[in-house]
Structures are given as structure tokens and as C-alpha cells.
């Protein structure tokens, strides 16, 4: 490629111009619409500012005081823990269930295609709609979920799920998982379809059962997909706000407080804009950490193919990796 | 391979299909519940045991809701469509640059990290500085302001998806065109874009749907109901003193329609577009 | 019935106040005589002698008005008010802007960009957030004018010694709403007036087989819960700054006993006032704490309902109820627009007939003293609410009321759900409140 450019110096100049033209809008866009507010909030995290000061643009510089306070804030630590629980449980459940569904629907006939598409609806609904539908279904007096659970003898009486500090978190996690499963199914399906059937056939000939085929072939080859899903899931869990706020507002008694809702509450109810921004900055740091990790782990790797040894399960894997590198 | 009657394979397939249908029913049950709740009357809404179908569907109420909220619906449509166009204007060239133009790895990595990380801020946090910017630019209360803001939900995502997708377009096509003397611009328009159509379609759909679901920008950056989207109307209903569960579910159904339409009408595009995204290289 | 959540809710608003005629005339006539022909109420001579008057200029003026009145009856009222004012001052045009309740984040964004609306009608609970863009009303009105309003609302809108808003079309409060039919069936002749009676009645009214509970309150993590606890605590002599004191213990003990006895559904830790109402309407709850905004729905429901004041711990204690509602304020702007905005407030204060009509249309209680005097007789359905409102108190804790309230809400949630004992929760609360400057 570089050789071409040396041969055509005029085209090189043209290349730079066109490249800039293509990239410039995106860069400008990100700087202006994301960059400026980010810088604004980073700065705000080092200030003490209530709404009045915010309005009058007269903050008080506070140094690291907000962050020092955060470390000792039990509600913040609790929210951090909740966010972590949310993240881990949601991402794992979504992946496991998504994997199961994707495997079940992993056929090319129109029947399965339509079903895969129809399954996208939960993910595409506005969150305020999802939240309120789940509230209605979880209602302690008239909720259909209670009716079903009692009649299936899973529970013995109606439960007000969102009113209980012990159960509310679980209930919101269920709603959150539900709405993210379709996205997982979508991505995993695409990943599954890129695995050549020949690998499975070779493994079957060698006597591997379906479970072994899954662990030795499917899962390793889905590493990229899994990585993407985990990263996106982590970032999404960090910024979780809408579904929790609609369903429980962080209550009852802070039981479902997560970083996003706490940031909102501390800013707009407790009137501490600087403190809220500090929480948001913690979210930003964590998010960057995940993003850096992801980019590091998914940088292009050269894969050596190995000599295939008979009876060696990993040999199918290597062959698959080789295929992957060329695909 | 078939013997008399259903073979084992056919039986397995039938079981598989049945399982798929049950799965669909379970996953979409909340949506079904919402729609029938919109059609129930007060009396049939609060019953134990609940009705699993609306006994006397209140279609007139539903259509009345559609009529009453036609203007916000139209606003939402205009805003979402404009946001989609704007997102494409940013994402398609940007993804191309990130994918194909041999930028230094470090730069691409930095951009990727940035694109991923900036999505973490809850939208409400971005509002005050953006609002100040918009006020200074005299940009309040315009459709295109909301379009640009709503595109923020999908541009980072779109850049990532399209970049991955474009990485999959073989270099050979480009090289052949260059040998033929095509300029970069021609290659972009004549080769890249047609080959990236599924990915572009995917981004279009997501951009529309994410913009459709926006509430925060639609609320803050408009002064009056003239251009407010329907999500704000939904919050208006919620903020009132008395509950109207039927109205809420009816509005929720209206809000869900684009999602259903997208799924019905754009399956192939969704599927193909995602194929490029899922398998990251 | 489930609560529809916007997640942006708090408790409801307040009743209304009357302006004294003299102050109205004094402030109004002098200021407005230059531009309009006669105020619509009383017409005496100026007695205040102070020069502060809102005077509407002659040229075309456009004002922006900001509120969260999105229900049809509220919109009807505010738009009637605006039309009446525009009719009186044809050169003034008011553009109305609404946002869903509580609309504070948008208001703060507007103010921080220098775009404060001219007339701001917002929840006074949040005043500490948005006052920086407002003009103190003493710039326009004499103390006697302001004194025409009941003190509770005025105090709610006072911050740093400055008065920022008036409850022009009134405000609201809460009281005990009960189902008369259920009472009759249980053999209860009168609504409870003491805590003991409340506990006993609630137990009598509870019927697990029918899925009916005797009593409901708001226990979720939003302002409405604190708002309902305050009457219990305050009437017994408790204060916000001393949650470790006996009144708090006894109030929380009462609630705990009732919920443990099964008279209050466990679901209340997730309920706001709208949930109480919806379960009252479906017959699942026989008594609830709610406000006058429910009256229209109650009247249409076919239920035989009654209203009673909050029970006090012992008979004869003075009831002390917190008030809610909006403060009508003037936003910083050009002197001309500020004056015109103040004139809007003054116009609605002077025109007592219109004021009362609109207050009633809003489902509010009058904040104007003279109106308040006769409101209970004129509108018997609102009598209990109006009487409570007359002596209603402001919810203040320096600039940090909402912060304190959040801690209280968490305490309520912990106690009602059984996660913490009353002692534990109140000790924690005392520690938290002591650390908050007020």
C-alpha cells in the first residue's frame, strides 16, 4: 500500500485530504458533543457546587475532597457494589441464556430467521416503556407474574417484588436481563454462523459428543464475540440509570441504588453537583479501564497453525483458528 | 433417510421448533401484556385472576389516543429520521477512515477507547454543558438540534459496527479500482458504500430506534409542545396526579411500534449488519 | 394497582392564599392605574406608602411562563389565568412552557444558560436548586401584600432571608381519606382521631381473605413519604433536627406495629400517593393518606368516601401538617419583563373571585388568608384539607431539606420493611441529620 503511494505522490496528497474529510466529521462530533461535556464534568468533579453556584457559574474549587468523601460514603460503596452485582449477573445471565437461544435458533430456515428477528423487540423498546410494563407485571396485588408463580407453585402468595429491599434488586435485574438478551442472541448468532460446519463434522467423526464439541470448538471460537459482549455489557451496567430509576428510583431504602441513580440523586436532590460529577467521573474511569482492556485483548494476533495430531481435541480448535484468521 | 412415519430427525426438528415458539412467547410476553392492557377497561384491568386477553377490546380508546397524540408522534418521526441521516453522515465516512485508511494503530486504538468509554455518561449529565452550548448557538427549539443530539445515542455504536463491517470488505476490490485509476472518493462512493449496505442498514435502524426512545434531549431542548417528541408526552402522563394505566399502556404501545416495524421489515439487514459486528477481528 | 412510575415524582402541591383587600388595593391601584382602567377588586387608596410596585410598561412585552401543569384541569386553570391577564394587558403576551413534574433539572439548565423563564411556577421543595435565577419578591411587593398569604407557603419559599415565591393559586396538603362503606361494615362510626383508634380501626378493617388492608401510606423513596410522616411527628412535638427524640420513636413504633399486625400492606415501601389512591379505588385499602387532588377521581368512583384530619397521638394535641404546592416566582430578566411578571402575580392576587375559582379548579386550597377563612364552608368536600392548610407549616431545613428528607425516606424504608429496628434506624438518622447544616 505504501508502495502505491510512493509511486503516486499526487494521489498521496489526495489520500490525505480524503482521509481527513472522512474522519474529520466524526472527530469533530465526538470532541464537541462528547468531549466538551466530559471535560466539563471532569472539572466539576473537583469542585463543590450546588445548583445556585451552578447557575451563577461560581463553583468553589475543592481538589480531591469529593473523592475522599466518596470513599467513606456508605451509600456510594453500596451503589458501587450493586452496580457490580448488576453487571456480573446481567452479563453472565444474558450470555448464558443468549447462547442457549442462539444455539437453539441456529438454523438458516426462514422460520428461525423470523423468530430471531422478532426476538429483537424487547431490546428496541424505549426503556420507560419496558420499566412500566415490568412494574405492572410485578405488581403485588394484580401483577400477572405473581399469578403465574403462585399457580406454578413457585411461590405461595403474592409478593410485592419492587417494594422489598431484598427482592427489588433481583426484580430489576430480571427486567434488565430480559431486555438485553436479544442483543446477545443477535451477536452470538452471527458468531455461531461464522464457525464452519466442517469443524463440527470432523469432531463428530472423532467421536466427540455435543457437549465436547461445544466446549472445544464453539466457545473458544466465540472468544471475540464474548469479549465484545462482556465489554458492552460492562459499560452499559456502569451507566445503568433509566430502568432502575423508572422501576424503583434506587429504593426502597437504597436497596437498588446504582452509580447512575446515585449520581442523579446526589446532583438533583441533594443539590451537590460537584459530588454527583465525581461519581460520574468514577464511572468514566471504570469505563475507560474496561475499554482499554478490551482494545488490548482484541488487537490483531497472528495465529500459527499447528500440526494436527490424531485424537487431539485441540487440533480442531487450531484448525478453526486458522480458518478464522483468513475469514 | 426417512422411514415410515416421522423419522427421529424430523421429530427432533419439530421439538426444536416448538421450543423456539415457546421461547418467543415467553420473551415477548411483556409486550403482549402491554398491548392487551391498553385495550382493557378499568374493570377488567384490576382483576384476580388477570385476563390473558382483553374481554372487550377498547379500540376506540386506543385510536382516540393515537389521534390525540398524533402531533408528538409526528415530531418523534421527524426527529428520529433526521437523527438517522445525521448519524449516517458521521458514521459512514468515519468508519471507513477507521477501517481502511491505514491509520496508525495507536490512533485507532485511542479512538476506539474513547468511543467506547464516552458512552458511559448518563445522558442527563451531558445536558447542562450541551444546553449552554445550544443556547449560545441560538439552537433551541429546532428539529435539527434535536436530530444532532439524538444521534449521540447511536454514533459511537455506529462507528464501531460499521468499522468492523468495513474491515470485512476485501482489499482486493479497492486495489482493483485503484489500478483502474479511480480516485479515493470514487472508491468510497462506488465500491465501499454499496458493499457496506447491510451494515449501513443496521446503523440506520439502530439510529432511528435509539433516537425514537430519547426523552432527556426532547424535554430540555424544546420550549413547547410544538416539537416535543412523544416520549415527553409519556412523561407528562406519568407526572400527573391520577394514574391512567390504559393511557400509559396505549402510549407505550405507540412507542413500541417502530421497533416492531423495524424487526418485521428489516430482518435481512439486521442480520447481515450484525454478522460484521459480532465477529471482531 | 401498580404505581405508574416516572421516577421523577415527589409529593404534591399546596393550597392557596388570599390577599388582603387593602394591600391589594394599595399595591395594585397605584401601580396599575397608569396603564389600565381599574383593578377588579376593592379600590381603596394606598396605605403602604412604599414605592415598590409592579408597573406594566406600555410597549409589547412577551413573557415566558414555566410550569408542570399537564393534567387537563390544571391546564384549564392556568390558561384561564393567562387569558384573563392578557385581556387586561393587551400589550403583554405570555408564552407557556410545560415540563413533566418536577421539571427541576430543566429549570436549572435554563437558568444556567441565562434563559430563566419570566414566570416560574415550580415545586417549592426544590427552591434551593433554582432560586439563583429568581428575583426576591420584596423587590415588587410590600410586606403587607406578602402578608396576605398564609405563612406556611411564604416560609416554604423563603431562602437565605429572601422571599422568592407566593402560592398564588393555592397549595395542598394531605389528610386521612376513608371508605365509609367499609367503616359501616366494620361497625366503626367515626374516623379515628387518635393513634390508638387508628391502630384499632385499621385492624378491624383488615380482611386478608378479601385482600383488604385497613390503612395505607406512602413508604417509597421519594418526598411523599416524608411528607406523610411529618404530621405524625410534628403534632407530637417532634422536629426535623431531632430524629432521636421520643415523638419520632413513637410515630415509627405506631407504623411498625400496624405493618406487623398486617393492617398495612408490606407493599407500601414501594408506594407513592398514586398507588395508595389506586388501591383505595379498587377496594384493597380502607384508609389512606392522600390529598385534595384525588377528590375529582373519588367523586367519579362511586365509592362512599370521607375525609378526616390526621390522627394525633393523644386527643387534644394540635395538628401540625406540612404543606405542599408551587411557588410562583419572578425570574431575572429585564426590569420591564420582571415588572410585568410581578404584575401577573399581583393580578391574580387582586382578583379574588378569579383566584378562588381557579384555586378550586386546580383542586387546591387557598393560600390567601381572606379566601381561606370561608373556603371550608363554600366547598365542604375540601373542608378538612382547607382547615389543615390554614395552620400548615413549611418544610424547611436551611437549604438542605431535600437531603434530610432523603435520609428520612431511607429510614422509613428500612423500618417498614423490617430491615432495621426503629431504634437502629432512628439512631442512624440522628447521626446523618446532625451532619447536615440547617
Those of residues 52-71 in A touching chain B at CB distance below 8 A are: 54
Which has the closest alpha carbon to C117: C139, C140, C137, C94?
Answer: C94
Highest mean pLDDT out of A288-302, B96-110, C56-70, C194-208: C194-208
Domain of C136, in residue numbers? 21-172+324-390
Quick check: is C39 in a domain?
yes
The answer to whether residues B154 and B162 touch, using CB atoms and an 8 Å cutoff, is: no
Those of residues 213-252 in A touching chain B at CB distance below 8 A are: 224-225, 227-228, 231, 235, 238-239, 241
Same domain (yes/no): B13, B136? no
CA C263 to CA C204: how far, in whole Å?
9
Which has the closest alpha carbon to C53: C331, C347, C367?
Answer: C347
Same domain (yes/no): C410, C423? yes
Same domain (yes/no): B217, B122? yes
Which has the closest alpha carbon to B281: A218, A299, A221, A319?
Answer: A299
Quick check: is C14 in a domain?
no
Same domain (yes/no): B270, B134? yes
Quick check: is C6 in a domain?
no
Same domain (yes/no): B25, B142? no
* A161-169 average pLDDT score: 92
Same domain (yes/no): C30, C71? yes
Quick check: is C3 in a domain?
no
* C250-278 average pLDDT score: 94
The residue in chain B having the minimum alpha-carbon distance to the alpha carbon of residue C297 is: B242
CA B189 to CA C358: how far, in whole Å?
63
Same domain (yes/no): C120, C143? yes
> Could you tell me if residue C20 is left (phi over 0), alpha (psi between -120 and 50 degrees) or otherwise beta?
beta
Judged against a pLDDT cut of 70, whether residue C14 lies above it is answered with: no
Report the gap between the CA of A140 and the closest CA in chain C (Å): 7
Same domain (yes/no): C213, C340? no
pLDDT in tens, C375-416: 999 999 999 999 999 999 999 998 899 999 999 999 999 999
- Name the CATH topology of A73-300: MetI-like fold (1.10.3720)
Same domain (yes/no): C367, C429? no
Query: φ, ψ for residue C208 (rounded to 5)?
Result: -60, -35
Q: Which helix (H) or strand (E) element contains residue C233?
A: helix C223-235
Judged against a pLDDT cut of 90, whether residue B225 lies above it is answered with: no
Contacts with A136 from chain C: Cβ below 8 Å: 2
Quick check: is B202 in a domain?
yes
Same domain (yes/no): B45, B82? no
Which has the closest alpha carbon to C303: C276, C273, C282, C272?
Answer: C282
Which has the closest alpha carbon to B217: B117, B161, B109, B139?
Answer: B139
CATH number of residue C408's parent domain = 3.40.190.10
Same domain (yes/no): B80, B149? yes
> Mean pLDDT in chain C?
86
Same domain (yes/no): B86, B142? yes
pLDDT in tens, C316-371: 899 999 999 999 999 999 999 999 999 999 999 999 999 999 999 999 999 999 99
Those of residues 205-224 in C touching chain A at CB distance below 8 A are: 211, 219-222
Q: Are strands C61-67 and C119-123 parallel, antiparallel or unpaired?
A: parallel
Same domain (yes/no): B24, B135? no
Q: What is the pLDDT of residue A170?
A: 94
CA C106 to CA C102: how far, in whole Å?
9
Last residue of a domain, one of B34, B57, B80: B57
Quick check: is C147 in a domain?
yes
Judged against a pLDDT cut of 60, whether residue A314 lies above it is answered with: no
- Cβ–Cβ of B220/C9 closer than 8 Å? no
Query: φ, ψ for residue A132 (rounded to 5)?
Result: -70, -35
Same domain (yes/no): B33, B78? no
β-partners of residue C95 are C64
Quick check: is B63 in a domain?
no
Same domain (yes/no): C271, C404? yes
- Cβ–Cβ of A135/C112 closer than 8 Å? no
- Name the residue among A121, A191, A298 with its Cβ closest to that of B28: A121
Same domain (yes/no): C78, C180? no
Same domain (yes/no): C207, C343? no
Q: What is the pLDDT of residue A15?
A: 56
Q: A294 vs C78, which has greater pLDDT?
A: C78
- Cβ–Cβ of A135/C5 closer than 8 Å? yes
Same domain (yes/no): B94, B197? yes
Quick check: is B62 in a domain?
no
Same domain (yes/no): B107, B243? yes
Judged against a pLDDT cut of 80, whether residue C28 lies above it is answered with: no
- Name the residue among A165, A246, A247 with its Cβ closest to that of C413: A165
Hey, is C148 helix, strand or coil? coil
Quick check: is B78 in a domain?
yes
Those of residues 372-401 in C touching chain A at CB distance below 8 A are: 399-400
Same domain (yes/no): C309, C249? yes
Count the domains in chain C: 2
CA C203 to CA C264: how far, in whole Å?
9
Judged against a pLDDT cut of 60, whether residue B78 lies above it is answered with: yes
Contact B245/C at CB under 8 A: yes
What pTM did the predictor assign?
Answer: 0.85
Same domain (yes/no): C417, C268? yes
pLDDT in tens, B23-65: 999 999 999 999 888 888 877 888 878 888 888 888 888 899 8
Hey, is C341 helix, strand or coil? helix
Contacts of range C414-419, beta carbons closer than 8 Å, 24 or more positions apart = C414/A165, C414/A253, C415/C252, C415/C255, C415/C256, C416/C219, C416/C255, C416/C256, C416/C259, C416/C264, C416/C266, C416/C268, C416/C269, C417/A163, C417/A164, C417/A165, C417/A166, C417/A252, C417/A253, C417/C266, C417/C269, C419/A165, C419/A253
Which has the closest alpha carbon to A85: A243, A225, A240?
Answer: A240
Quick check: is C76 in a domain?
yes
This model of the complex carries an ipTM of 0.83
Q: Choosing among B112, B170, B244, B278, which should be mutated to test the A contact, i.e. which has the most A CBs within 10 A? A: B278
pLDDT category at A324 given cuts 50, 70, 90 is very low
Same domain (yes/no): C207, C295? yes
pLDDT category at B163 given cuts 50, 70, 90 is confident
Q: What is the pLDDT of residue A1?
A: 44
Q: How many contacts (CB atoms, under 8 Å) link B and C?
A: 84
Same domain (yes/no): C341, C430? no
Domain of B93, in residue numbers? 69-278
Same domain (yes/no): B18, B131? no
Q: What is the pLDDT of residue A12?
A: 62
Amino acid at each position: 500500500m505504501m508502495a502505491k503511494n510512493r509511486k503516486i505522490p499526487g494521489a498521496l496528497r489526495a489520500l490525505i485530504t480524503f482521509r481527513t474529510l472522512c474522519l474529520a466529521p466524526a472527530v469533530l462530533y465526538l470532541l464537541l458533543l462528547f468531549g466538551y461535556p466530559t471535560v466539563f464534568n471532569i472539572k466539576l468533579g473537583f469542585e463543590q457546587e450546588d445548583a445556585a453556584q451552578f447557575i451563577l457559574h461560581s463553583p468553589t474549587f475543592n481538589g480531591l475532597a469529593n473523592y475522599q468523601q466518596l470513599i467513606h460514603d456508605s451509600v456510594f460503596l453500596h451503589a458501587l457494589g450493586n452496580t457490580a452485582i448488576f453487571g456480573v449477573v446481567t452479563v453472565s445471565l444474558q450470555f448464558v441464556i443468549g447462547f442457549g437461544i442462539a444455539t437453539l435458533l441456529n438454523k438458516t430456515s426462514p422460520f428461525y430467521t423470523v423468530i430471531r428477528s422478532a426476538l429483537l423487540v424487547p431490546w428496541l423498546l424505549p426503556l420507560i416503556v419496558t420499566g412500566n410494563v415490568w412494574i405492572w407485571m410485578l405488581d403485588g396485588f394484580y401483577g400477572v407474574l405473581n399469578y403465574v408463580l403462585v399457580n406454578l407453585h413457585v411461590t405461595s402468595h403474592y409478593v410485592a417484588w419492587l417494594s422489598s429491599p431484598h427482592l427489588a434488586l433481583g426484580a430489576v435485574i430480571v427486567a434488565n436481563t430480559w431486555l438485553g438478551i436479544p442483543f446477545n442472541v443477535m451477536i452470538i448468532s452471527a458468531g455461531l454462523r461464522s464457525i464452519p460446519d466442517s469443524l463440527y463434522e470432523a469432531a463428530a467423526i472423532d467421536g466427540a459428543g455435543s457437549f465436547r464439541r461445544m466446549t472445544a470448538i464453539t466457545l473458544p471460537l466465540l472468544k471475540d464475540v464474548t469479549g465484545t459482549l462482556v465489554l458492552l455489557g460492562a459499560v452499559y451496567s456502569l451507566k445503568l440509570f433509566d430502568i432502575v430509576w423508572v422501576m424503583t428510583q434506587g429504593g426502597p431504602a437504597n436497596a437498588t441504588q446504582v452509580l447512575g441513580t446515585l449520581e442523579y440523586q446526589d446532583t438533583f436532590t441533594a443539590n451537590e453537583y460537584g459530588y454527583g460529577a465525581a461519581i460520574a467521573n468514577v464511572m468514566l474511569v471504570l469505563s475507560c479501564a474496561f475499554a482499554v482492556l478490551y482494545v488490548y485483548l482484541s488487537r490483531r494476533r497472528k495465529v500459527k497453525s499447528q500440526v494436527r495430531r490424531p485424537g487431539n481435541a485441540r487440533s480442531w480448535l487450531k484448525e478453526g483458528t486458522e480458518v478464522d484468521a483468513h475469514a | 433417510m426417512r422411514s415410515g412415519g416421522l423419522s427421529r430427525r424430523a421429530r427432533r426438528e419439530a421439538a426444536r421448533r416448538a421450543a423456539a415458539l415457546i421461547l418467543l412467547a415467553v420473551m415477548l410476553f411483556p409486550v403482549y401484556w402491554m398491548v392487551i392492557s391498553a385495550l382493557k377497561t378499568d374493570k377488567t384491568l384490576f382483576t384476580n385472576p388477570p385476563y390473558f386477553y382483553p374481554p372487550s377490546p377498547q379500540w376506540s380508546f386506543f385510536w382516540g389516543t393515537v389521534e390525540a397524540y398524533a402531533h408528538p408522534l409526528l415530531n418523534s418521526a421527524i426527529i428520529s429520521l433526521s437523527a438517522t441521516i445525521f448519524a449516517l453522515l458521521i458514521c459512514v465516512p468515519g468508519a471507513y477512515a477507521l477501517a481502511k485508511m491505514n491509520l496508525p494503530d495507536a490512533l485507532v486504538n485511542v479512538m476506539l477507547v474513547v468511543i467506547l468509554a464516552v458512552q458511559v455518561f448518563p445522558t442527563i449529565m451531558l445536558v447542562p454543558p450541551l444546553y449552554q452550548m445550544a443556547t449560545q448557538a441560538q439552537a433551541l427549539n429546532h428539529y435539527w438540534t434535536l436530530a444532532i443530539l439524538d444521534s449521540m445515542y447511536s454514533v459511537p455504536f455506529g462507528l464501531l459496527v460499521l468499522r468492523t463491517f468495513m474491515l470485512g470488505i476485501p482489499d482486493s476490490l479497492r486495489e482493483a479500482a485503484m489500478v483502474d485509476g479511480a480516485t479515493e472518493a470514487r472508491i468510497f462512493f462506488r465500491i465501499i458504500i454499496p458493499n457496506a449496505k447491510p451494515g449501513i442498514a443496521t446503523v440506520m435502524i439502530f439510529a432511528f430506534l435509539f433516537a425514537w426512545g430519547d426523552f432527556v434531549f426532547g424535554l430540555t431542548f424544546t420550549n413547547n409542545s410544538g416539537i416535543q417528541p412523544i416520549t415527553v408526552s409519556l412523561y407528562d402522563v406519568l407526572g400527573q396526579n391520577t394514574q391512567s394505566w390504559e393511557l400509559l399502556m396505549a402510549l407505550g404501545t405507540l412507542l413500541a411500534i417502530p421497533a416492531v416495524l423495524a424487526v418485521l421489515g428489516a430482518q435481512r439487514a439486521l442480520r447481515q449488519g450484525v454478522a460484521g459486528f459480532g465477529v471482531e477481528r | 394497582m401498580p404505581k405508574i412510575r416516572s421516577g421523577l415524582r415527589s409529593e404534591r402541591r399546596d393550597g392557596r392564599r388570599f390577599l388582603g383587600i387593602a394591600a391589594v388595593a394599595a399595591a395594585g391601584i397605584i401601580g396599575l392605574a397608569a396603564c389600565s382602567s381599574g383593578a377588579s377588586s376593592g379600590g381603596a387608596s394606598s396605605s403602604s406608602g412604599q414605592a415598590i410596585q409592579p408597573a406594566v410598561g406600555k410597549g409589547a412585552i412577551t413573557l415566558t411562563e414555566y410550569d408542570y401543569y399537564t393534567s387537563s384541569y390544571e391546564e384549564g386553570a392556568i390558561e384561564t389565568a393567562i387569558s384573563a391577564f392578557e385581556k387586561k394587558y393587551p400589550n403583554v403576551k405570555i408564552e407557556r412552557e410545560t415540563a413533566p413534574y418536577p421539571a427541576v433539572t430543566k429549570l436549572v439548565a435554563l437558568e444556567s444558560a441565562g434563559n430563566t423563564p419570566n414566570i416560574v411556577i415550580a415545586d417549592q421543595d426544590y427552591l434551593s436548586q433554582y432560586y439563583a435565577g429568581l428575583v426576591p419578591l420584596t423587590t415588587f411587593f410590600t410586606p403587607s401584600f406578602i402578608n396576605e398569604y398564609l405563612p406556611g407557603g411564604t416560609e416554604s419559599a423563603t431562602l437565605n432571608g429572601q422571599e422568592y415565591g407566593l402560592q398564588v393559586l393555592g397549595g395542598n396538603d394531605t389528610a386521612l381519606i376513608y371508605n365509609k362503606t367499609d367503616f359501616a361494615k366494620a361497625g366503626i362510626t367515626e374516623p379515628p382521631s387518635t393513634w390508638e383508634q387508628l391502630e384499632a380501626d385499621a385492624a378491624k378493617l383488615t380482611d386478608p381473605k378479601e385482600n383488604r388492608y385497613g390503612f395505607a401510606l406512602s413508604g417509597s423513596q421519594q418526598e411523599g413519604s416524608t411528607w406523610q410522616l411529618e404530621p405524625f411527628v410534628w403534632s407530637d412535638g417532634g422536629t426535623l433536627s431531632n430524629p432521636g427524640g421520643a415523638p419520632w420513636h413513637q410515630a415509627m413504633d405506631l407504623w411498625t406495629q400496624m405493618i406487623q399486625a398486617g393492617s398495612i400492606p408490606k407493599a407500601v415501601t414501594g408506594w407513592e400517593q398514586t398507588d395508595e389512591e389506586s388501591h383505595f379505588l379498587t377496594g384493597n385499602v380502607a384508609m389512606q393518606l392522600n390529598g385534595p387532588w384525588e377528590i375529582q377521581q373519588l367523586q367519579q368512583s362511586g365509592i362512599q368516601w370521607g375525609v378526616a384530619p390526621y390522627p394525633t397521638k393523644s386527643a387534644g394535641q394540635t395538628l401540625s401538617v406540612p404543606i405542599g404546592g408551587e411557588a410562583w416566582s419572578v425570574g431575572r430578566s429585564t426590569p420591564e419583563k420582571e415588572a410585568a411578571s410581578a404584575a401577573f402575580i399581583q393580578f391574580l392576587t387582586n382578583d379574588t373571585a378569579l383566584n378562588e375559582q381557579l384555586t378550586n379548579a386546580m383542586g387546591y386550597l387557598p393560600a390567601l388568608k381572606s379566601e381561606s377563612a370561608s373556603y371550608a364552608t363554600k366547598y365542604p368536600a375540601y373542608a378538612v384539607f382547607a382547615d389543615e392548610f390554614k395552620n400548615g407549616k413549611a418544610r424547611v431545613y436551611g437549604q438542605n431539606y431535600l437531603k434530610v428528607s432523603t435520609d428520612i425516606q431511607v429510614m422509613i424504608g428500612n423500618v417498614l420493611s423490617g430491615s432495621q429496628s426503629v431504634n437502629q434506624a432512628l439512631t442512624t438518622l440522628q447521626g446523618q441529620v446532625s451532619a447536615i447544616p440547617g
